[in-house]
Amino acid sequence: MLSETILEMKDISKSFPGVKALDGVDFKLREGEIHALMGENGAGKSTLIKVITGVYEKDAGLITLHGKPIHFRSPQEAQNNGIGTVYQEIMLCPNLTVAENMFIGRSHTPIVNWKEMNEKAARLLDSLGIPASPIQELSTCSIAVQQMIAIARAVDMDCRILILDEPTSSLDEDEVQKLFELMRALKAQGVGIIFITHFLEQVYEISDRITVLRNGKLIGEYKTSSLPQIELISKMLGSELEDISTIRKHEPVASDAGIPVFEAVGLSSAAGVRPFDFTIHKGEVNGFAGLLGSGRSESVRAIFAADKVTGGEVRIHGKRVKIKTPLHAIKHGIGYLPEDRKGDGIIEDLSVRDNIILTLQVLKGLFKPFSLKEAEKFAEEYIKKLNIKTPTSNTPIRSLSGGNQQKVILARWLLTNLEYLILDEPTRGIDVGTKVEIQKLVIRLASGGMSLTFISSEIDEMLRTCSRLIVMKDREIVGELRGTDLTENDVMHMIAQGGKS
């Protein structure tokens, strides 16, 4: 097989305020190969893609395309140079028709020939087996169909490099197979494909080579056939060996005895999680394990009523209560640190102080504001307690690093004196030191009698902190693991086999 290099990236670095997203990463794509780019959340995959396509500007490094150095300033430029991209979020216009979304921004004729465009689109849709009509408005298509349309658009562009950033997360089995057929056909034509996904089976089914990233660093490039699945997972998850010793797993206190702090039966939400049961006891740390999209976040959001709760019963200390809005949950002593720190967590332009006191202030009420002195006292106390690195308590939270922002949100919840705290990916995209600090804090809080749910993409973090793991797959609980001598292997097997272990 031909294996001429099309795209080569050398020593690529990219930083965002407070985070080094890419740190000296090399990457090589050859002609006619499907190259899987693997890594957990925050590993730097999407950043690498966006550096190639000109959405972000790299800080350092060199990119060559067919041996010539390139430097794209806009997605349009990349598109014109034969790089087609399908992004994780669907980058199409919902108010245009299917056919338009496939062809807009590509033609250079001033007139739109609807008939020809619709015919071309119909042919393309038909050949890919996409169940959509060219004249349909995109917003009336399902998300899966929209994703297929985005792929069809990229495929049709006659590109030499096709980048697929998690295109399969919303596709069903049949659709995935169709996509794979298509990828194989393109590969035969010599197109280089970069494929990102969270589904390991898919990687082994389709890819020739795998590049693994972790925490913005290159772990290595491997031939798919010579890298066993379990080894790939361990490379992706890694372990910060040097820090484990400092975290001591805490022994569950009176684990299953007595009345649980929180208990849910048949809970379901509008976000599409299947009805599930859940309990947590005083001083317990448990976790939801599963791959991205398995429903772990949706489950905890249902507990906090962050999404609309559509069914189920909730008891706190054995007493039935109504939790329909986040405010109800907060009033019952539940806290939730959201997965999307920027979209759901921080109030960007407000000061660290205001961000810390926010929820306590809401609980206290509209007519009882804290004086500046009181607020300052709280803020200073927690800045010291959690070791938040900020110039002053008056600094806007937006200028802090990711880890320190996360600590501010933690401080916000700790201040409200809660009984049960849900942490959804508190360690994502933050530096190693802070990750360890947060894990230690979880243990400390549990020893103090607080109940916690801890979710992380890095299984070893959960193993270190949780005494019970609830394993999820396809928006359903498939099993539960407990005990102090759990290993990563146990968890991975259960995830891979869907609870049959």
Task: Scan residues 76-95 and list those touching other proteins (CB under 8 A).
Answer: 76, 79-80, 87, 90-95
Residue 280 · residue 287 · CB < 8 Å:
no
Shortest Å, Cβ 7 to other proteins: 20
DSSP per-residue letters across 354-383: HHHHHHHHHHH-TT-PPPHHHHHHHHHHHH
Stretch that binds other proteins, among 33-41, 198-206, 309-317, 337-345 (CB under 8 A): 337-345
HSE of 357, CA atoms in CB hemisphere, 13 A: 23
Length of the chain: 501
Q: Which of positions 412-471 make contact with other proteins (CB under 8 A)?
A: 412
DSSP state, 255?
-
Q: Which of 268, 273, 264, 427 is nearest to 332 (CA)?
A: 264
Shortest Å, Cβ 137 to other proteins: 4
Stretch that binds other proteins, among 32-40, 238-246, 249-257, 365-373 (CB under 8 A): 365-373
Q: Which of positions 93-122 make contact with other proteins (CB under 8 A)?
A: 93-97, 99-101, 104-112, 114-115, 118-119, 121-122
Task: Out of 257, 366, 373, 483, name the contact with other proteins by CB under 8 A.
Answer: 366
Shortest Å, Cβ 30 to other proteins: 26
Q: Does 272 bind other proteins (CB under 8 A)?
A: no
DSSP state, 310?
E
Nearer to other proteins, 177 or 489 (CB): 177
Write each residue from 368 to 397 as x if it is in contact with other proteins (CB under 8 A), else as -, in one continuous string: xx----------------------x-x---
CA distance 393 to 389: 10
Q: Which of positions 393-422 make contact with other proteins (CB under 8 A)?
A: 394, 412
Nearer to other proteins, 50 or 250 (CB): 50
Task: Out of 2, 367, 448, 483, name the contact with other proteins by CB under 8 A.
Answer: 367
454: tokens are 């801890």
Shortest Å, Cβ 439 to other proteins: 23
Measure CA 188 to chain center: 32
Q: Which of 471, 466, 460 is nearest to 435 (CA)?
A: 460
- Could you give the C-alpha distances from 116 to 92, 93, 476, 486, in angstroms and in order? 21, 20, 45, 61
Residue 265 · residue 301 · CB < 8 Å:
no
Shortest Å, Cβ 344 to other proteins: 5
Nearer to other proteins, 305 or 459 (CB): 305
CA distance 489 to 364: 46
CA distance 132 to 138: 9
Write each residue from 121 to 150 as x if it is in contact with other proteins (CB under 8 A), else as -, in one continuous string: xx--xx--xxxxxxxxx-xx----------
**At 30, which helix (H) or strand (E)?**
strand 19-30
Nearer to other proteins, 119 or 474 (CB): 119
Shortest Å, Cβ 8 to other proteins: 24
Residue 415 · residue 363 · CB < 8 Å:
no
Stretch that binds other proteins, among 65-73, 204-212, 349-357, 468-476 (CB under 8 A): 349-357
Stretch that binds other proteins, among 228-236, 281-289, 354-362, 437-445 (CB under 8 A): 354-362
CA distance 293 to 457: 11
Q: Which of positions 151-180 make contact with other proteins (CB under 8 A)?
A: none
Q: Which of 289, 262, 247 is nearest to 455 (CA)?
A: 289
Shortest Å, Cβ 451 to other proteins: 19
What does the angle CA 110 – CA 116 – CA 117 come to, to the nearest 5 degrees? Answer: 70
**Looking only at Cα atoms, what is the longest distance across the chain?**
74
- 264 forms beta bridges with 278, 314
Q: Which of positions 48-67 make contact with other proteins (CB under 8 A)?
A: 55
Q: Which of positions 218-257 make contact with other proteins (CB under 8 A)?
A: none
Which letter, b or e, does each residue of 282-303 get, where b requires 16 or more Cβ atoms within 10 Å of its Cβ? bbbbbbbbbbbbbbbbbbbbbb
Nearer to other proteins, 82 or 190 (CB): 82
Nearer to other proteins, 91 or 432 (CB): 91
